[in-house]
Amino acid sequence: MTTIEYTRGDFQSDQEVRWCPGCGDYTILASVQKFMAASGIRKENAVFVSGIGCAARFPYYMATYGMHSIHGRAPAVATGLATARPDLSVWVVGGDGDMMSIGGNHLIHALRRNVNLKILMFNNQIYGLTKGQYSPTSEVGKTTKSSPMGSIDYPFNPMSLALGAEATFVARTLDMDPKHTGEMLEAAYAHKGSAFVEIYQNCNVFNDKAFIALTSKDDRDSNRIYLEHGKPIRFGQDMEKAVVMHNGEATIVDAAAVDETAILIHDQTNMSMAFALSRLSHSPTGPTPLGIFRSVDERGTYDDGVNAQLAKAKSTKGDGNIDDLIRSLGTWTVG
Amino acid sequence: MSTTIEDTEPEALDKVIIRFAGDSGDGMQLAGNRFTDASAAFGNDLATFPSFPAEIRAPAGTLPGVSSFQVQIADFDILTAGDEPDVLVAMNPAALKSNLADLRPMGTIVINTEAFEERNLAKAGYTENPLTDGSLNAYKVIEVPMESLTKEAVKDTGVSGRDVLRSKNMFALGLMAWLYSRPLEPTVDWINAKFGRKPEVAEANIATLKAGYNFGFTTEATKNSAVTVKPAKLPPGEYTTISGNLSLAWGLIAGAKAANLPLFYGSYPITPASDILHELSRHKNFGVRTFQAEDEIAAISASIGAAFGGHLAVTGTSGPGLALKSEALSLAMMTELPLIVINVQRGGPSTGLPTKPEQSDLLFAMYGRHGESPLPIVAASSPSDAYESAIEAVRIALKYMTPVILLSDNSVATGSEPWRLPERDSLPDFRVTFATKPNSPDGEFMPYVRDPLTFARQWAVPGTPGLEHRIGGLEKEEVSGNVSYNSDNHQLMTDTRAWKVANIANDITPVAVDDPDGASTLVLGWGSTLPVIKAAVRRVRNEGHPIAHAHLRHLNPFPANLGEVLKSYDNVLIPELNTGQLIRLIRAEYLVDAVGLNKVSALPFKVTEIEAKLLEMI
Ligand SMILES: Cc1ncc(C[n+]2csc(CCOP(=O)(O)OP(=O)(O)O)c2C)c(N)n1
Ligand code: SF4
Ligand SMILES: [Mg+2]
């Protein structure tokens, strides 16, 4: 197959992008289009499937195949597509409400099955499209249109949830860091199986500055903990902070106060470590890990499993013959 | 018919109705099925009606725990499992109590006497033992100490513990085989095939089967009661005995083959539809992918994904599951993707009566979606008809790029009948062609360009270079398929989608009327009432009254000639196992003053019920 040289423009559809000016979705769209152009994926083989929400408008803006389905069901639609067509590169896009509220069931089942899907959850910690109700990732106490006295719902921790659902690839990135977003997309694409990528996304209309701790010039360097496989976890403006395990929990310490060897070396194949790191930040008001929490290659994908069974059945039983099948219970002849 | 009764020559009957009834652990379904197969092999026509308890573990010996299997065998083409059994096999008091009322006057009861002890009698609510209190005097009772005879039969086979009494259903079966001159070989072969890996179990079952047969042959109790039902004169052809879930599954495979597409089946287990999933999952070598989803919403959603990917996508369920699929079904409607949605109806609402027949989802299939969302509906009318109905649903879905609802019900799904098989190599060919080229002057692919005749849009599957496009649930602009909030466009698209479905009326077989005598009363049915309506019509005609019958496979749209047909009769009777659903559609569509005959009592119609209503009307 000849490789085609694409530019970002090749992945831009002719539809006018209709998000609010300043919305984090624009940056993510650009990151994805850029990644696609560089990825080597042929345009006709990429499919973007989404649910409903601001984020879920995404497929209309990609010049690939796409389906804007119904609220919450994109992981299920994509599961069917990827199972039927393992030759395709199937991407799922949705918001925090879409994927963790109405579609939470489909998300966890897609993850545990390890369907070869790349799932991008744009987490703005709010329902954007319906104009600003709290979401299952909104912090307790949040005042919104539907919670005038503050939300009393305890939020999900998306990283912990994905890990608990047996996801084989779990990562987090940030709309305002396109370079890191690109790296995460690349790693997700390279992973065989479901890859869950949470992308913190600013909704400047209904939940502005939710991620300010990670984006403001003043705070971002002291709060972004970039995880890199095989490297000690250090962060801060001068790398003065570190993560250690203390009483079984990931804990932030002054790097100077601990022995160099006590600093946690990130191991993305270690589930317990991934989970401990996922607990470091809930709503990101302080130091927050970004990067690949978990990436393991130990399980086959669902779609491969299904198709391997088909191939096996064909090789042992031969191609099915319908005339024989309807006679398989035994027949008798009259006349 | 002249019959001579001799010691050696069994009396010939033209038909007999037998009901096996026992505790759900007694193996009555198995005994009934084996009896059916032996009769089919013998050349009888037959029809069955299995009835299961809803709870798998209803307490043993109680009334809710009773499971039964009714089969009618005949030497002519019968249509139903019959109204009143001639023979009741009662394995315990609860089985006797819950089935006795159905037995015909002077009918025969075969009783497993050892189960009629105090505890079991109490569990069934008997205060007196019916074997001794004279309450069975009006029947012919054959008392059999089945448990000790079974123990005796298996004592040299090496089975022990619970396996010993497990084969007592074979005793009952053997006895019935004697009584009705069924051959034992088909059952022996079946046992050997089934228990090949456990020879001692096979041996025990065969020994018990033969013991039951010999018991009939030798004892006083059954002397002169051996009768036979001669082979039926069915139309020439090759036959098999089939249940509706299997033939429906096979019809889907056949439809996929006719379309030259791989089959994708997404489903979440639910009675009585699960057997379709089970059956399809066994046939991966036909290119069948089955997906057991996390719920019915995921099942249909995944099927929509597979349809987008170019597979023949099917999702199957029963009533409660159809409710869950409703939103996604509208998506499939809006995206105009081919999809088959099977609803094996059961008694509702809510969890209702999961194992009982009802036709109460017709209006739900018709209207159970938000927005203006008309869909074609096809209904299977018998176990064998489910095969053809499935192929028809596939044909419509692919030709018109639309979801199709395929209705079955518990009677079709779990009942069985002889099926005259289609000839080899007779499968239709409706292979689909995917779009391969752009379809607009500027070299773009426009997903909502329509075929001028069918109004179907083109199916362009991912992986096809140059045809990249997006579809979704937001209203589509005609031709381009771009999102559109334009008011004229919404009117146009709504009208177009409705017209596309309505137009299918011109592409389906006109409804055929069976009216040999120029009747003035028509009975119109749909779905699983076909056999019972046919039987009632036959009786009424035999009594000298002309009567016409028409049966609908297509419930939406109706066949183009239906209005004309209805208007050519003075009276129209519509029997349905619901409170009147087809009748509403018919009255609304044709302004015909049809009369309903309705029943929702967890049972199929009796022939006599429809017969009586018809006699009252003519
Ligand atoms: C069945 C159904 N229920 C409710 C809605 C309304 N709805 C649309 S999007 C949405 C939530 C969107 O929030 P999120 O998924 O976080 O996406 P965002 O808009 O924030 O990107 C809701 C409740 C719907 N479209 N369908
Ligand atoms: S409402 Fe929020 S999430 Fe939606 S487009 Fe506007 S800024 Fe973006
Ligand atoms: Mg959101």
From CA B610, how far away is CA B252, in angstroms rounded?
33
pLDDT, position B5? 32
Report yes or no: A327 at the B interface, CB cutoff 8 Å: yes
Which numbered ligand comes closest to the C-alpha of A24?
Answer: 2
Pocket mutation for ligand 2, best pick of A98, A130, A205, A211 (most atoms within 8 Å of C-beta): A205
Cβ distance B254 to A309 less than 8 Å, yes or no, reads no
Query: What CATH number is given for B5-229 in this structure?
Result: 3.40.920.10
A278-307 pLDDT tens trace: 999 878 999 999 999 999 998 999 999 999
Distance A129 CA to ligand 3 centre (A): 8
- Which residue has better confidence, B304 or B39? B304
Cβ distance B309 to A88 less than 8 Å, yes or no, reads yes
A-chain CB neighbours of B309 within 8 Å are 80-81, 84-85, 88
**Distance in Å, alpha carbon of B264 to nearest chain A alpha carbon:** 7
Report yes or no: A112 at the B interface, CB cutoff 8 Å: no
Q: Is residue A41 part of a domain?
A: yes
The domain that contains A86 carries what CATH number?
Answer: 3.40.50.970
Q: Edge-to-edge strand order for the sheet containing B513-514?
A: B513-514, B548-552, B521-526, B571-576, B595-598
Distance A135 CA to ligand 2 centre (A): 14
Nearby residues for ligand 3 (ion, Cβ within 5 Å): A 95-96, 124, 128
Mean pLDDT, range B92-110, rounded to an integer: 92
B553-581 pLDDT tens trace: 999 999 999 999 999 999 999 999 999 99
B295-312 pLDDT tens trace: 999 999 999 999 999 999
- Closest alpha carbon to B530 in B616, B605, B613: B605
- Closest alpha carbon to A275 in A294, A291, A262: A294
Cβ distance B298 to A13 less than 8 Å, yes or no, reads no
Mean pLDDT, range B161-185, rounded to an integer: 89
Per-residue confidence band for B2, with pLDDT thresholds at 50, 70 and 90:
very low
pLDDT, position B134? 86
Residues of chain A whose pLDDT is less than 70?
1-3
- CATH architecture of the domain covering B513-617: 3-Layer(aba) Sandwich (3.40)
From CA A95, how far away is CA A75, in angstroms rounded?
12
B381-391 pLDDT tens trace: 999 999 999 99
Which member of A15, A64, A317 has the closest CB to residue B468? Answer: A64
Hey, do B240-420 and B513-617 end up sharing a CATH topology, with the first three levels equal? yes
A-chain CB neighbours of B40 within 8 Å are 332
Q: Is residue A273 part of a domain?
A: no
**Distance in Å, alpha carbon of A266 to nearest chain B alpha carbon:** 34
Per the structure, the complete domain to which residue A200 belongs is given by: 8-210
Q: Give the chain B residue nearest A13 (alpha carbons).
A: B469
Cβ distance B472 to A65 less than 8 Å, yes or no, reads no
Domain ranges of chain B: 5-229, 240-420, 433-507, 513-617
Per-residue confidence band for B483, with pLDDT thresholds at 50, 70 and 90:
very high
From CA A246, how far away is CA B60, in angstroms rounded?
57
- From residue B82, alpha-carbon distances to B35, B345, B543, B602 in Å are 16, 21, 19, 16
B422: which DSSP letter?
Answer: P
- Closest alpha carbon to A127 in A206, A68, A31, A190: A206
Cβ distance A84 to B468 less than 8 Å, yes or no, reads no
What's the mean pLDDT when you consider all of chain A? 97
Per-residue confidence band for B38, with pLDDT thresholds at 50, 70 and 90:
confident
Per-residue confidence band for B10, with pLDDT thresholds at 50, 70 and 90:
low
Q: Give the chain A residue nearest B264 (alpha carbons).
A: A84
Q: Is residue A242 part of a domain?
A: no
Distance B76 CA to ligand 2 centre (A): 72
Per-residue confidence band for B89, with pLDDT thresholds at 50, 70 and 90:
very high
**Distance in Å, alpha carbon of A49 to nearest chain B alpha carbon:** 9
Return the residue whose CA atom lies nearest to atom 6 of ligand 2: A20
From CA B250, how far away is CA B255, in angstroms rounded?
8
For residue A58 the two structure tokens come to 């995404």
Report yes or no: A203 at the B interface, CB cutoff 8 Å: no
CATH topology of domain B240-420: Rossmann fold (3.40.50)
pLDDT, position B226? 64
- The proportion of chain A whose per-residue pLDDT surpasses 90, expressed as a percent, equals 96
Distance A29 CA to ligand 2 centre (A): 13
pLDDT, position A4? 79
DSSP secondary structure, B146-162, as one string: HHHHHHHHHTTS---TH
Number of structural domains chain A divides into: 1
Report yes or no: B438 at the A interface, CB cutoff 8 Å: no
CB A142 within 8 A of CB A327: no
pLDDT, position B106? 83
Tokens 């005959």 locate to B597
B576 forms beta bridges with B598
Per-residue confidence band for B220, with pLDDT thresholds at 50, 70 and 90:
low
What region, left, alpha or beta, does residue B131 occupy, with left being phi > 0 and alpha being psi -120 to 50 degrees? alpha
From CA A91, how far away is CA B319, in angstroms rounded?
32
B376-417 pLDDT tens trace: 999 999 999 999 999 999 999 999 999 999 999 999 999 999
Find the DSSP H helices in B401-470.
410-414
pLDDT, position B608? 92
Q: How many interface pairs between A and B have CB atoms less than 8 angstroms apart?
A: 210
- Closest alpha carbon to B411 in B158, B47, B78, B131: B47
Mean pLDDT, range B260-265, rounded to an integer: 98
pLDDT, position A178? 98
Cβ distance B483 to A49 less than 8 Å, yes or no, reads no
Q: Is residue A47 part of a domain?
A: yes
Which member of B235, B253, B469 has the closest CB to residue A322? Answer: B253
